């Protein structure tokens, strides 16, 4: 029987390792601003729009609905985000950044940008572009074959 490849050589683990290595830079910084990585993602997206519904915010931040629902509760309690039911579609919840949320955003932004630039200069702009390109192509390739598989496993279950 063919032996399964070592886990360290697997694509998901390589990607996880790289992501952890990059987040190891951002997390301590966010910690000094009393934000989690995911909260910062939400604030950052909301900072660039008037308002956004939960579904689109979930897509933009790569968070799942249930996580977002919980997070928004605490973000609202902490006064960083406002919620409002969409008057045009009562199923939807519209979210927006409060002024305290915007203040926080503006406090974190320079620190965040500084880390990006540090990473770019450590890794090199050319390599970074090349990496982005490959990751984007990988996504395209993976998403093409995804649907059939999902259906296949759904059937066999």
Chain residues in the site for DNA (CB under 7 A): 20, 23, 27-28, 31, 36-39, 53-55, 58, 63-72, 74, 83, 86, 89-93
In degrees to the nearest 10, what's the CA dihedral of 64, 69, 73, 76?
A: 80
Ramachandran class of 68: left when φ > 0, alpha when ψ lies in -120 to 50, beta otherwise: alpha
Least distance (Å) from DNA to the CB of residue 83?
A: 7
User: 62: alpha, beta or left, given left = phi > 0 and alpha = psi -120 to 50?
Assistant: left
> CA 1 → CA 5, 8, 9, 10, 129, distances in Å?
12, 20, 19, 19, 40
126 binds, among its own copies, DNA, none (CB under 5 to 8 A by kind): none
Q: Pick from 50, 62, 87, 91 the residue near its own copies by CB under 8 A.
A: 62
Binding to its own copies by residue 56, rule CB under 8 A?
Answer: no
Alpha carbon of residue 69 to chain centroid: 15
How far is Cα 104 from Cα 115, in angstroms, rounded to an integer?
17
Is 8 a binding residue for its own copies by CB under 8 A? The answer is yes
Neighbouring residues of 61: CB distance < 8 A, sequence distance ≥ 6: 38, 41, 42, 45, 68
The nearest distance, CB 58 to DNA, in angstroms, is 7
Q: How far apart are the first and last CA of the chain?
A: 26
Among 35, 39, 45, 71, binds its own copies (CB under 8 A): 45
Considering the complex, what minimum distance in angstroms separates the CB of residue 132 from its own copies?
6
The residue within the footprint of its own copies, chosen from 44, 50, 54, 74 (CB under 8 A), is 44
The contact pattern for its own copies, residues 102-141, with x = CB under 8 A and - = no contact, is ----x--xx-xx--x-xx--xxx--xx-xxx-xxxxxx-x
Binder of residue 12, out of DNA, its own copies, none (CB less than 5 to 8 A by kind): its own copies
């Amino acid at each position: 029987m063919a032996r399964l490849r070592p886990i360290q050589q697997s694509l998901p683990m390589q990607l996880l390792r790289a992501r952890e290595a990059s987040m190891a830079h951002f997390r301590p910084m966010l910690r000094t601003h009393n934000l989690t990585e995911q909260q910062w993602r939400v604030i950052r997206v909301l900072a660039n729009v008037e308002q956004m519904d939960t579904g689109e915010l979930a897509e933009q931040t790569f968070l799942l609905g249930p996580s977002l629902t919980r997070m928004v509760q605490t973000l609202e309690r902490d006064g960083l985000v406002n919620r409002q039911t969409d008057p045009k579609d009562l199923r939807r919840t519209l979210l927006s950044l409060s002024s305290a949320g915007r203040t926080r955003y503006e406090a974190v932004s320079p620190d965040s940008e500084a880390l990006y630039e540090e990473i770019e200069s450590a890794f090199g702009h050319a390599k970074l572009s090349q990496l982005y390109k490959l990751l984007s192509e990988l996504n395209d390739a993976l998403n093409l074959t995804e649907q059939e598989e999902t259906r296949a496993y759904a059937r066999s279950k």
